[in-house]
Amino acid sequence: MTKPIILTIDDEPQVLNAVERDLRQHYRGDYRIIKAGSGAEALETIQRLKQRNVPVALLLADQRMPSMSGTEFLAEARQFYPEARKVLLTAYADTQAAITSINTIGLDHYLMKPWNPPEQNLYPVLDDLLSDWLATVPIPYDGIRVAGTLWSASCHNVKDFLARSQIPHQWLDIEKDEEARALVEAVNKDQHRLPVIFFPDGSTLINPDTKILAEKVGLRTQATQPFYELIIIGAGPAGLAAAVYGASEGLHTILIDKETTGGQAGTSSRIENYLGFPNGLSGADLARRATAQAARLGAEILTAQEVTRVRVEDPFRFVTLSDGTELSCKALLIATGVSVRELKVPGIEAITGAGVYYGAALTEAAHYQGEHFYVVGGANSAGQGAMFFSRYAGKVTMLVRASSLKKGMSQYLVDQIEETPNIEVMTRTEVIEVHGQDRLEAITIKNNDTGESCTKPTPAMFIFVGAVPHTDLVADVVERNHSGFIITGPDLIRRGRRPKNWRLKRDPYLLETSVPGIFAAGDVRHNVVRRVASAVGQGSMAVSFVHQYLETV
Ligand SMILES: Cc1cc2nc3c(=O)[nH]c(=O)nc-3n(C[C@H](O)[C@H](O)[C@H](O)COP(=O)(O)OP(=O)(O)OC[C@H]3O[C@@H](n4cnc5c(N)ncnc54)[C@H](O)[C@@H]3O)c2cc1C
């Protein structure tokens, strides 16, 4: 661990060097001694140390400095390190100022100059203060820290990305933590942009774009080659399974995701129906295991890279990434899944991410401890969300349009919900308006049987209302149904005829699209069972069709 700091400040070089020498002699084994020639220089050092979360144990400042006195410096430094012990070096005439500082800035001690011999006049005092500091100081967190407000959508996105990428980090709420607020203001220089992300190496990022953040935390965002045998777009369960099978069966494989690995499954609090995990497992755990497995078997994995376009120039298939890079391959698998449908009601857009969340938003739930919040939707994902949130909430109300939960939810979840005392289910009910300026304050709900509506105060609403496929990237390339889902295999044969422009003498394989060599797997397909196991099964099957296709090109 980094040694805690003792910082000494004096504008007179001889005095500064003498203090530093004496401090080093006695404390250098356990502490790092730093010196500064002015209050301003010392404050800059303090801010730098705080950005890296290096612990500061003791500040030893001369009272008589021309531009900033010792007490003025200590008052400023206290904002960043309230726990650090504060000592003033004084001349006889400064005694009164020092005594006043005990009350005003919580000065711990003042030392008269000269302090010789240090064994008698310096070390005993500082030993005492340092042992006191050691006994009370919290262990500093030496990982990534994200500072912002609970109500900011950009803060939510950053936390969500880090959590889903399994990057450990600490959340600092600047509305509750004064040290964090001072640090953010020092870095932000009046720009008021959030979140500010502090890295252990002392660097910071302010509300970065996902790709920059991904690169900074060590995730790969650039392909190592221009050409692959198999490119997989989308790293949800289908894409991850295809990457595992493709790489393990010797295909030169790359897996690309616009966010991070795990897909929708990665946001699930508990997947209980996936084969082989009798106690269930969290989506994050499944994503972590599958990502490690795919990487170990040799698949290259890019995150924070959206595929914006797909084009065909036989025998190759090309994908364009959001940064303009083009990669080519022999076989392409689209596993881009779906995302939750947006709820279109007045007032919702401005506060999405600030009390209104789509999907599980698991990282947010803990912030609403003891509150009454709402889950919109009646399918399995809504049920799982409600079960998870019920651990934190005082009460969870599910708003369901259907007349019964049984219409859209697995029976095991219906049973769990019925047995959970703090979950209430309101059927035939929908949200018609959302209220709040910069955060959610209330929602208006309507009963569709009686037509009655009422407004309920709440700080949080989690929405799970259906799916939209991510298929714009292949809009003009492969056949899709009226809702945008990709049509594959036998569904492409109509009245015994193969798809338009299909020139091969065989029918499309089961998971093949209307373009030979472009396959689709998982939720993005038309007429499919939207489940983790189903996506995993399709991802692995797709690879066997890829092999068959590659034998012919
Ligand atoms: C909250 C929740 C809970 C669930 N719980 C369960 C459960 O308990 N059991 C169960 O069986 N199923 C569950 N499901 C459903 C299950 O998660 C999905 O069926 C499954 O994740 C589908 O996998 P997929 O790989 O097809 O797509 P997705 O999981 O949707 O993954 C698609 C991936 O593609 C990426 N992508 C999209 N467009 C692009 C692009 N242009 N470029 C690059 N990348 C792109 C996305 O970022 C995403 O990571 C749940 C779903 C949700 C939302």
Tell me if 535 CB under 6 Å of ligand 1.
Answer: yes
Residue that is written with structure tokens 């998971």 in the block = 511
Q: What's the gap in Å between 409 CA and the centre of ligand 1? A: 18
Model pTM score: 0.78
Please, are residues 493 and 507 in contact by the beta-carbon 8 Å criterion? Answer: yes
In sequence order, the 6+-apart residues with CB closer than 8 A to the CB of 399 are: 374, 375, 376, 377, 426, 429, 430, 431, 445
Q: Is the distance from CB of 16 to CB of 8 less than 8 angstroms?
A: yes
Q: C-alpha 505: how far from its chain's center? A: 48
Ligand 1 centroid–CA 329 distance in Å is 24
CA 264–ligand 1 middle distance (angstroms): 3
* Residue of minimum CA distance from atom 37 in ligand 1: 336
The pLDDT confidence band at residue 506, using thresholds 50, 70 and 90, is very high
User: Looking at residue 377, what is its pLDDT?
Assistant: 94
Residue 103: per-residue pLDDT: 83
Strands lying side by side in the sheet with 85-90: 32-36, 5-9, 56-62, 85-90, 109-112
* pLDDT tens digits, 183-220: 999 888 777 789 999 998 889 999 999 999 999 999 99
d(CA 377, CA 353): 18
Q: Between the CA of residue 390 and those of 122, 236, 329, 387, 424, what are the distances in Å?
A: 56, 26, 47, 5, 10
The mean predicted confidence, pLDDT, of the chain is: 93
Give, using CA atoms, the residue closest to atom 12 of ligand 1: 531
Long-range contacts, stretch 178-185, CB < 8 angstroms, 24+ apart: 178/79, 178/82, 179/50, 179/79, 179/80, 179/81, 179/82, 180/145, 180/147, 182/79, 182/80, 183/47, 183/50, 183/51, 183/80, 183/147, 184/147, 184/148
3-state secondary structure of 403: coil
Question: Relative to the CA of 521, which ligand 1 atom is closest?
Answer: 26
pLDDT of residue 267 exceeding 70, the answer is yes
Q: What is the pLDDT of residue 177?
A: 92
pLDDT of 361: 65
Q: pLDDT (tens digit, 9 = 90+) per residue, 3-54?
A: 999 999 999 999 999 999 999 999 999 999 999 999 999 999 999 999 999 9
Give, for 229, the enclosing helix (H) or strand (E). Answer: strand 227-233
- % of the chain with per-residue pLDDT over 90: 77
Which residues, listed in sequence order, are joined to residue 444 by a DSSP beta bridge? Answer: 433, 455
Work out the pLDDT band at 353, boundaries 50, 70, 90. Answer: confident
CB of 264 closer than 6 A to ligand 1?
Answer: yes
| Residue 272: band (very low, low, confident or very high) from pLDDT cuts 50, 70, 90 | confident
Which pLDDT belongs to residue 362? Answer: 67
Residue 238 CA, closest ligand 1 atom number: 25
pLDDT mean over 312-328: 97
pLDDT at position 138 is 78
Predicted pLDDT of residue 140: 78
How many residues are listed for the chain in this entry? 553
Handedness of CA 198, 204, 207, 210 (dihedral sign): negative
The contacts of residue 207 (CB under 8 Å, 6+ apart) are 154, 158, 193, 194, 195, 196
Of 509 and 165, the one with more pLDDT: 509
Tokens found for residue 178: 């004064």
Distance (angstroms) between ligand 1 centre and the Cα of 194 equals: 28
pLDDT at 152: 85
Q: What distance in Å separates the CA atoms of residue 347 and residue 178, rounded to the nearest whole number? A: 32
277 lines ligand 1 (CB under 6 A): no
Ligand 1 test: best mutation among 157, 164, 257, 264, most atoms within 8 Å of CB?
264
Confirm or reject: Cβ of 355 under 6 Å from ligand 1. Answer: no
Q: Please tell me the predicted confidence (pLDDT) of residue 16.
A: 95
Name the residue with higher pLDDT: 267 or 228: 228
Model confidence pLDDT, tens digit, residues 59-85: 999 999 999 999 999 999 999 999 999
